[in-house]
């Protein structure tokens, strides 16, 4: 029989999960106004300058904002995943739905870690809002540099951030896959019906790892797509 203390503890964890979920979506904008619409113009000036002196004054605040935005989400997301996993362990009756929520939270956490390790890279899809001719010219120049060299300092920074972005995503997704595979083994021994609930996401995670390894091995095509506003 569940004690009153245990019920209160579970209720407290549930309340914390709700508050953290709300904070995950509501708190990041508090780091400052979203000025991503200014990115295409700032990036155009950065690209035209060659990027030899780092980010210019009109671009650096956008990169800093992106870093802090994702950092806040990483902190909140880490706490949320911890609380949901704790609830899944404690509440066996609701383990499946809570576990599914924890999996979603973990996936969102990985995406925001990417924003912390490559804030500049996560801004690049906003180039889609720039004039098509400007984007086409930048992509053409980047393609020529990647194919024939040398790389401008700006493109060198972008390529390094793009690779780092996928390295972190591959590592974190790989760790998630290991956890899911372990849960699949446990589920097979105890309740085989739950195997699909862990095995399918594990396979999906492994496919994501493979895709990121492929991208790191040959990042140029993916970077060119990113410059065109594609993920």
Give me the pLDDT at residue 5, please. Answer: 76
**How confident is the chain (231 residues) per 10-residue block, as mean pLDDT?**
72 91 86 78 87 84 92 95 91 83 92 92 82 81 86 89 92 92 76 72 93 93 78 57
User: Any idea of the CA torsion for 146, 151, 154, 155, to the nearest 10 degrees?
Assistant: 20
pTM: 0.86
Find out whether 68 and 31 touch, Cβ atoms under 8 Å: yes
Q: How far apart are CA 5 and CA 13, in angstroms?
A: 12
User: Any idea of the CA torsion for 8, 14, 17, 21, to the nearest 10 degrees?
Assistant: -140
Q: Where along the chain do its domains lie?
A: 4-227
Q: For helices 220-227 and 132-148, give the axis angle rounded to 10 degrees.
A: 160
- For residue 112, give the nearest of 163, 79, 161, 69 by alpha carbon: 69
User: Any idea of the CA torsion for 163, 145, 122, 172, to the nearest 10 degrees?
Assistant: -10
| Phi and psi, residue 131, nearest 5° | -55, 135
Give me the pLDDT at residue 147, please. Answer: 84
Long-range contacts of 4-11 (CB under 8 A, 24+ apart): 6/90, 9/90, 10/87, 10/90, 10/91
Give me the pLDDT at residue 67, please. Answer: 93
């Amino acid at each position: 029989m569940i004690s009153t203390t245990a019920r209160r503890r579970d209720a407290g964890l549930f309340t914390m999960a709700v508050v953290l979920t709300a904070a995950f979506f509501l708190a990041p904008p508090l780091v400052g106004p979203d000025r991503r619409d200014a990115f295409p113009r700032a990036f155009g000036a950065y690209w035209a300058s060659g990027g030899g002196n780092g980010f210019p004054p009109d671009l650096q605040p956008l990169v800093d904002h992106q870093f802090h935005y994702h950092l806040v989400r990483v902190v909140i997301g880490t706490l949320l995943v911890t609380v949901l996993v704790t609830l899944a362990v404690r509440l066996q009756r609701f383990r499946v739905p809570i576990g599914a929520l924890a999996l979603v939270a973990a996936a969102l956490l990985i995406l925001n870690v990417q924003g912390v390790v490559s804030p500049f890279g996560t801004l690049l899809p906003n180039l889609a809002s720039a004039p098509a001719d400007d984007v086409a010219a930048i992509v053409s120049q980047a393609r020529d540099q990647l194919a024939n060299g040398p790389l401008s300092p700006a493109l060198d920074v972008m390529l390094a951030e793009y690779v780092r972005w996928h390295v972190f995503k591959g590592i974190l997704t790989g760790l998630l896959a290991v956890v899911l595979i372990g849960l699949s083994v446990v589920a097979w021994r105890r309740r085989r019906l739950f195997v699909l609930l862990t095995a399918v996401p594990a396979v999906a995670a492994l496919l994501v790892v493979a895709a990121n390894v492929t991208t790191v091995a040959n990042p140029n095509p993916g970077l060119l797509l990113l410059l065109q506003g594609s993920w």
